[in-house]
Amino acid sequence: MIGQIIKAYNLNMTEALEENPTAYRSFNHFFTRELKSAVRPLTTENSSIASPADGVISQAGAISDDTIFQAKGKSFTATDLLGGDSERAAPFREGLFSTIYLSPRDYHRLHMPVTGKLTQMLHIPGRLFSVNAATTESVPRLFARNERVVCLFDTEIGEMALVLVGAIFVSSIETVWHGVVTPPTREQVRSWQYADENIVLEKGAEMGRFNMGSTIIVLFGKEKARWQTEIVAGKAVKMGEKIGNIL
């Protein structure tokens, strides 16, 4: 199965820390493989925002009051995305968002766009719709309906949210500080508080990972950051490259 995926998606195994496909103990071990550090150089500009993942920009832009654009006339709210708590979503009103889709060919570890101190994590149960372009254009409020893990950080420019959205075939979402968050899937929202713990992750540090393709959504507050002009729908990005600037 590993060999079939490598062939089907033309994966470049010379980027992997372990280049030998037969050395992986399981398919998931292969799918969440670590890369050589040199193949994903981290932007070194002090004011830069790094891409948290390999993938394609699904959408990126301004949050209109509480509304985030999805595709083709469809949208969802930051409040719904973050678990239905308007106070939790308040720092992101009129802010900035970027939605990055990871396909099966992409590197599936997720990294910090900027340095941040972890304050809260939530596991929000939901559906497992596919998150490819076709379903994004057809399923209303897709990202606010799928199962997801919300990670909130304090940064030098205020609050940042990293939302790890589950999808079809995604059997595991995990973070470096907690381990596997889902499965198991529960009916109720679960929340963990970290404000009193000193969990600080530097820009570029690994913060989590997916099994199979999915989506990560980055949120910043109003007038806190701006994206590069080329960060638009359909743009391919690599983890660590500059996608924006802090203000």
Q: Annotated catalytic, 214? A: yes
Could you write out the DSSP letters of every residue in the chain? -HHHHHHHTT--GGGBSS--GGG-SSHHHHHTPPBPGGGSPPP--TTEEE-SSSEEEEEEEE-BTTEEEEETTEEEEHHHHTTS-HHHHGGGTT-EEEEEEE-TTS--EEE-SS-EEEEEEEEE--B----SHHHHHHSTTHHHHB-EEEEEEEETTEEEEEEEE--TT---EEETTTEEEESSP-SS-EEEE-TTS--EE-TT-EEEEESSSEEEEEEE-TTSEEE-TT--TT-EE-TTSEEEEE-
Q: Annotated catalytic, 178? A: no
Supply 15's token pair. 């980027």
| Active-site entry in 58, 98, 106, 111 | 111
| Active-site entry in 54, 98, 106, 123 | 54
| Active-site entry in 51, 58, 98, 214 | 214
Q: Annotated catalytic, 58? A: no
CA distances, 188 to each of 80, 122, 126, 161, 184 (Å): 15, 10, 10, 20, 12
Catalytically annotated residues: 54, 111, 214
